[in-house]
Structure 1
Amino acid sequence: MLSVKVGNAPASLRASVLAVKAANSDIRRTINQRMRATMNPVWRQRVLAGAHGGMEARMLTPGTRIAAGNPPALVAASGNRKIGRLTPNKHAAGWEFGASDAVRRQSSGRGPNKTYSRHVMRHLPPRNRKGRVVYPAAAEVLPRVASFWAQSAIKTFLDAVEEGQG
């Protein structure tokens, strides 16, 4: 799981987070609206560009968005609509990380009258612990999102001071 903690961030970003926490709801709403309006298309495009087409794109791109918050969160593969028998929010990990060779080769089971062996999970790509689409996209987009969010917070505070809201 990819996690970025604000406590590990540079001091300027931590200061922005604390300033936004102390701000009133109108300022926080404006910051979130600016973030989503500007960075949502960038995040969606990067995830779509990283997908290798076909089922991978259909599983990983639904629900791709930037969720508002302090700090904002990158969300991908959160769709509930079924694609065949699969649902992106439950089955996307197989397309992002693949399946190990041991699982992809054969699985044995037992029926009422005999034991059998069959190939399973051949439809998934080979195992990649670092991710194939969403994680590399997040690594590329996160610095831009953090920078834009901090700049947007500062600009919103300056606009509020000029208008006399602060």
Structure 2
Amino acid sequence: MLRIDTHSSRELQAVLLSIRRAEKTYQAQIRQQTKPLVQNAWEKALAEHADTLLAHRVLVDSARVSVSNQNVRLKSGGLARKLRGGARIHEISRQAEFGAPLRTIKYTATKRGKSYPVSRTSGAQFKHENRKGWVVYPAAASIIPRLAALWTQTVVRTMHEAFERKS
């Protein structure tokens, strides 16, 4: 899980404190304005890193964002929707992100009374294994600083407009 440590940044601590101390209506405005900006940026970053149709279907098309007063959460691959082949997105999202090893299964089949050896290979549709991820983790690492800046700008702009209305 990739996170920004707000304890090391006074600016981000100030942003969180200003959201906490703001009136409920301004908190709601900040969340409502932040969500579409972050959603578009997250989908674009995932699309730039996804280079296979499977990655697009499983990771990019299932990209979601949730925004609270304290957090912006980036999600991908968590939907229970079925794909065209019958697999559910949440069941194969791990393999689409981190890859899967090729596994050959050998067994003996019988047809019309005759037995013969069969070997099946599974995992060929996925990339080879990569602990650092292929799509979501690299996309998140590249976009998190930009999203922190977007969130900060949204908070500052909303609070500035609120102060202008009051005065």
| TM-score bucket (shorter structure) | 0.7 to 0.9
1:159 and 1:72 map into 2 onto residues whose CA distance is 22
Residue 147 (1) aligns with residue 149 (2): yes
2:3 and 2:124 map into 1 onto residues whose CA distance is 33
Deviation at 1:137, TM superposition (A): 0.9
1:107 and 1:17 map into 2 onto residues whose CA distance is 53
2:67 and 2:59 map into 1 onto residues whose CA distance is 20
Offset from partner CA, 1:80-139 (integer Å, 9 cap, x none): 210122222232010000014xxx23346799xxx9864322222100011101111111
TM-score (norm 2): 0.82
Partner of 1:85: 86
Partner of 1:42: 41
SS at match of 1:126: coil
Offset from partner CA, 1:118-161 (integer Å, 9 cap, x none): 43222221000111011111111111110110121122112111
SS at match of 2:65: strand
The 8 Å contact of residues 62 and 78 in structure 1, kept in 2 or not, is answered as no
Offset from partner CA, 1:3-48 (integer Å, 9 cap, x none): 3154454121122112212222211111112212323212112212
The 8 Å contact of residues 62 and 79 in structure 1, kept in 2 or not, is answered as no
Residue 65 (1) aligns with residue 64 (2): yes
The 8 Å contact of residues 6 and 14 in structure 1, kept in 2 or not, is answered as no
TM-score (norm 1): 0.82
* Structure number with higher strand proportion: 2
Partner of 2:114: none
Gapped runs of 5+ residues in structure 1? none
Q: Taking structure 1 as reference, are residues 109 and 157 closer, same or farther at Cα in structure 2, changes over 3 Å only?
A: farther
1:8 and 1:156 map into 2 onto residues whose CA distance is 23
Q: Taking structure 1 as reference, are residues 110 and 153 closer, same or farther at Cα in structure 2, changes over 3 Å only?
A: farther
1:24 and 1:63 map into 2 onto residues whose CA distance is 33
Q: Taking structure 1 as reference, are residues 15 and 109 closer, same or farther at Cα in structure 2, changes over 3 Å only?
A: farther
Aligned residues: 160
Aligned residues with identical type, % of pairs: 26
